[in-house]
Amino acid sequence: MTDRSTEGSRTPPAGAPRTTRQPSLAVLEAAGPTRGVALLLHGGKAHSYEPVEARHLSPLRMLPFARHLHRAGKDYGLAVWSLQNSVRGWNGPDMSALRDARWALQQISAQHPGVPVYLVGHSMGGLTAVCAADDPQVEAVVALAPWLSPETPAQRVAGRKILIVHGTGDRMTSPAQSLKFARGAASTAASMQYVSLSGAGHFMIRRVRLWHTLATGFVMKSFAERTGFTYPDAGTLDRILPESATQVNL
């Protein structure tokens, strides 16, 4: 397992507090040639130009997802890239997290042109993933307890495979808004699935293994369909849904 860091160069918008921290990427390489990349996007705050630190819970929360995906996909050519944002906030029209995600996608394109990219984001990272889905290399999106609203642009997911997972016990972001978005965007997305986890909260601590399995299963199934290899657990997502979670008809 290789962990490589790449730093970008960004200038804060006019009027924002200055920070020397830049976005960075930790990369878990594929075992052989890279045939696809999963890009993980962490959560944050509505407004903050405080630099993101590796010790913050938002990026730490995505590390188990990165490792779970890497174990499942590395032998099939899937690399897993984890973005650490430059600052903690979305910051209104500055959309700081989206700027960082666009930068990360540029790095992927430069190193692996043309390979499919799978976005996996939690909370603010889920919003970021939805908004960045219009990048030409993005194949699919997993949005975990995403921070969505009526203003979230549904057209960004046109032609993409989308999985939204939200716990019914979430008090930080709205399951109702996630479901409303899923229904509104279903007609333009290549596919749209909304999964409700009974009693699960925002931080994905309760039923954590199920969160991991849903995210990894969706990415690996999409990756297998795109690249044409046979993934032995490709039916995992379909098997576990009736038993452990509720898929809502859209």
Q: Tell me the average pLDDT across 191-197.
A: 94
* pLDDT tens readout for residues 105-129: 999 999 999 999 999 999 999 999 9
From 62-76, 85-99, 200-214, the region with the lowest mean pLDDT: 200-214
Closest CA to 193 of 185, 204, 203: 185
Please give the angle made by the CA atoms of 135, 137 and 141, to the nearest 5 degrees: 75
Q: Assign residue 228 a region (left: φ > 0; alpha: ψ between -120 and 50; beta: otherwise).
A: left
Closest CA to 145 of 201, 100, 198: 201
Rounded to two decimals, the pTM is 0.90
Which overall architecture, per CATH, does domain 21-248 show? Answer: 3-Layer(aba) Sandwich (3.40)
* Three-class DSSP labels, 133-186: CCCCCEEEEEEECCCCCCCCCHHHHCCCEEEEEEECCCCCCCHHHHHHHHHHHC
pLDDT of 10 higher than 50: no
* pLDDT tens readout for residues 155-178: 999 999 999 999 999 999 999 999
- Confidence grade of residue 12 (pLDDT, cut at 50, 70, 90): very low
